[in-house]
């Protein structure tokens, strides 16, 4: 095995910040090399240095690719050498066809400088074959699911004769089946001699697929672990990433259950645009004060749809069912009404549904509870600033000031702003949809601590998550959701990942099990 890439003593400074300091990375030909680190540790910066986004001369250090010193001035320079980076947010044009996307920016011109689409579609089909896709190359990208889109990105990379493929959080938005498929594809590509660098927060994936793992913390290389070694465990990676022992990944909590706060009965929701398609069928669940209840389901099971339809009917059509709050039936036809009934919903998609990224922390925190700051319709801006400072301190939002735009914060801190916003509405029930998606291990622990504080204060919390260990780690009780039906309810003591997965994959026509749904 020979070394394909060596990054020596890379140092990259931004005004006032040293993003990378003396980072060294060695990647062998034909290996899958994982890079781990907390958000803001410098992983993305390192990859931007490598791919030429930060051109040669704007950083210190040396890159040796394939035995020769590389001085990339732009992304096209690095792509010419066969280094292709696939970003977390996919760079596909939704209304262009698969083939058009694959060859975008890399079109082969035929006679008269025009594109021969028959030839292009034919070659696109061949590339898709290599990544295990059997789609018509002329369908628009928007008609494919996100899992398939990810594969199209890889096909696009293959069309560029990729030798070193860099994937930034490739499975963050994928469900388990699609993730598995993607990882399998990486193994196949490894067999074909393509080297791969994968950045991921999902440690079980890394354990499964990576040959070696480099850990970066605070802009410095901590160590490179050979994953075949005996002591290459997730705990060791976590220790390296956070620089301390996370004794437990989930903070301890003593459950003190109170009265039932929220009960949903026979909830039915239809798809907002597709007539006759029922998204939620006869869902019933409840949550008590001081309790953390989990809702486990695969992507597409209707988790978010269930939560949003309850939260002021912000999703769906023809909604039937009853909501009881503190034993009394309530109506929550709009979000404002739901907030008035002290129900809060923190979205899974912070950037698109949770925050106003071009406004500051202060205004985002007050967005849902603004009326409290404005008794006569006029906002008390001094009080608003004080509230923001309070939450900054109590939730440990890391920022130089609360008048910084939320878009400039890391994922974990953005999530804390979302939680602050909802805590300020003084909720009795908080529905948290994927509260730790896309945030690093250290920040996750903080979010769990915040959840514990909420229930200790007598609030009821519903956590929707696709990470089963997380649900098992923080919940008192877990419901499983499959194809819009609640298929099971387990006290956490009886729940295992295997049992939950079994219930989560129960098909629509299969009968509900009678055991496991006790209580």
Sites of contact with another protein (CB under 8 A): 14-16, 311-312, 314, 334-336, 338-339, 345, 347, 352-359, 363, 367-368, 370-371, 374, 377-379, 381-383, 385-386, 408, 421
Q: What is the DSSP string of 231-249?
A: T--HHHHHHHHHSS--S-S
Choice between 106 and 381, CB closer to another protein: 381
The minimum distance between CB 398 and another protein, in angstroms, equals 14
Choice between 74 and 401, CB closer to another protein: 401
Choice between 153 and 360, CB closer to another protein: 360
Choice between 155 and 387, CB closer to another protein: 387
Residue 511 C-beta-side C-alpha neighbours within 13 Å: 3
The minimum distance between CB 382 and another protein, in angstroms, equals 4
Please choose, from the candidates 314, 267, 263, the residue with its C-alpha nearest in 3D space to the C-alpha of residue 291. 263
Cα(225)–Cα(220) distance, integer angstroms: 15
| Angstrom distances, CA of residue 440 to CA of 251, 315, 488 | 16, 29, 30
Choice between 433 and 446, CB closer to another protein: 433
Please choose, from the candidates 344, 215, 301, the residue with its C-alpha nearest in 3D space to the C-alpha of residue 482. 301
Choice between 348 and 476, CB closer to another protein: 348
Q: Phi, psi (5° rounding) for residue 387?
A: -60, -45
The minimum distance between CB 399 and another protein, in angstroms, equals 11
Choice between 267 and 315, CB closer to another protein: 315
The minimum distance between CB 317 and another protein, in angstroms, equals 16
Choice between 62 and 389, CB closer to another protein: 389
Q: What is the DSSP string of 452-481?
A: HHHHHTT-EEEEEES-HHHHHHH-SEEEEE
Distance, C-alpha 295 to centroid of its chain: 17
Q: Cα(first)–Cα(last) distance of the chain, in Å?
A: 58
Choice between 377 and 511, CB closer to another protein: 377
The minimum distance between CB 214 and another protein, in angstroms, equals 28
Long-range contacts: 416-419, Cβ < 8 Å, 24+?
Answer: 416/391, 416/446, 416/447, 416/450, 417/355, 417/361, 417/364, 417/365, 418/346, 418/347, 418/350, 418/354, 418/355, 419/346, 419/395, 419/447, 419/450
Cα(314)–Cα(309) distance, integer angstroms: 5
The minimum distance between CB 289 and another protein, in angstroms, equals 23
Tokens linked to 54: 């930060």
Q: Identify the helix (H) or strand (E) that includes residue 196.
A: strand 195-199
Q: Are 479 and 486 in contact (CB under 8 A)?
A: yes
Given strand 220-226, what is the order of strands in its sheet? 83-86, 164-168, 195-199, 32-36, 212-217, 220-226
The minimum distance between CB 188 and another protein, in angstroms, equals 39
The minimum distance between CB 422 and another protein, in angstroms, equals 9
The minimum distance between CB 19 and another protein, in angstroms, equals 12
| Angstrom distances, CA of residue 84 to CA of 53, 81, 157, 316 | 12, 9, 6, 40
Choice between 74 and 356, CB closer to another protein: 356
The minimum distance between CB 405 and another protein, in angstroms, equals 9
């Amino acid at each position: 095995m020979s070394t394909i890439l060596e990054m020596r003593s890379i140092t990259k400074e931004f005004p006032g910040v040293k993003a990378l300091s003396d980072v060294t990375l060695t990647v062998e030909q034909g290996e899958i090399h994982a890079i781990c680190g907390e958000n803001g540790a410098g992983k993305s910066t390192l990859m931007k240095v490598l791919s030429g986004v930060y051109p040669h001369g704007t950083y210190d250090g040396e890159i040796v690719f394939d035995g020769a010193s590389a001085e990339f001035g732009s992304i096209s320079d690095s792509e010419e050498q066969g280094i292709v980076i696939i970003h977390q947010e996919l760079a596909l044009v939704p209304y262009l066809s698969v083939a058009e996307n694959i060859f975008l920016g890399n079109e082969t011109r035929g006679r008269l400088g025009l594109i021969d689409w028959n030839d292009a579609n034919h070659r696109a089909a061949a590339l898709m074959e290599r990544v295990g896709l059997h789609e018509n190359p002329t369908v628009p990208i928007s008609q494919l699911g996100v899992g398939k889109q990810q594969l199209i990105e890889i096909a696009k990379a293959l069309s560029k004769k990729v030798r070193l493929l860099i994937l930034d959080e490739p499975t963050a938005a994928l469900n388990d089946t699609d993730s598995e498929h993607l990882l399998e594809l990486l193994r196949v590509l490894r067999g074909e001699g393509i080297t791969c660098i994968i950045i991921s927060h999902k440690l079980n994936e890394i354990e499964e697929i990576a040959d070696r793992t480099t850990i970066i913390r605070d802009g410095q290389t901590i160590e490179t672990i050979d994953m075949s070694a005996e002591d290459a465990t997730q705990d060791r990676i976590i220790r390296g990433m956070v620089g301390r022992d996370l004794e437990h990944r989930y903070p301890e909590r003593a459950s003190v259950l109170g009265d039932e706060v929220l009960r949903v009965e026979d909830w039915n929701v239809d798809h907002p645009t597709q007539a006759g398609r029922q998204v939620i069928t006869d869902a019933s669940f409840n949550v008590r004060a001081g309790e953390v209840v989990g809702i486990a389901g695969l992507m597409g099971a209707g988790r978010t749809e269930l939560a949003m339809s309850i939260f002021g009917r912000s999703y769906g059509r023809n909604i039937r069912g009853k909501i009881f709050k503190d034993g009394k039936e309530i109506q929550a036809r709009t979000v404002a009404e739901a907030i008035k009934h002290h129900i809060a919903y923190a979205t899974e998609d912070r950037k698109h549904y949770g925050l106003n990224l071009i406004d500051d922390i202060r205004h985002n925190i007050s967005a849902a509870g603004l009326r409290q700051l404005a008794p006569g319709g006029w906002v008390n801006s001094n009080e608003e600033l004080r509230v923001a400072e309070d939450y900054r301190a109590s939730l440990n939002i890391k920022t130089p000031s609360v008048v910084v735009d939320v878009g400039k914060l890391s994922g974990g801190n953005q999530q804390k702003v979302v939680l602050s916003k909802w805590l300020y509405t003084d909720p009795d029930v908080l529905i948290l949809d994927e509260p730790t998606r896309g945030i690093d291990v250290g920040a996750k622990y903080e979010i769990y601590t915040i959840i514990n504080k909420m229930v200790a204060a007598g609030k009821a919390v519903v956590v929707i998550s696709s990470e089963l260990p997380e649900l098992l780690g923080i919940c008192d009780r877990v419901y499983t959701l499959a194809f819009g039906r609640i298929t099971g309810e387990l006290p956490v003591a009886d729940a295992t990942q295997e049992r939950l997965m079994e219930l989560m994959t129960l098909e629509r026509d299969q009968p509900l099990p009678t055991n496991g749904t006790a209580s």
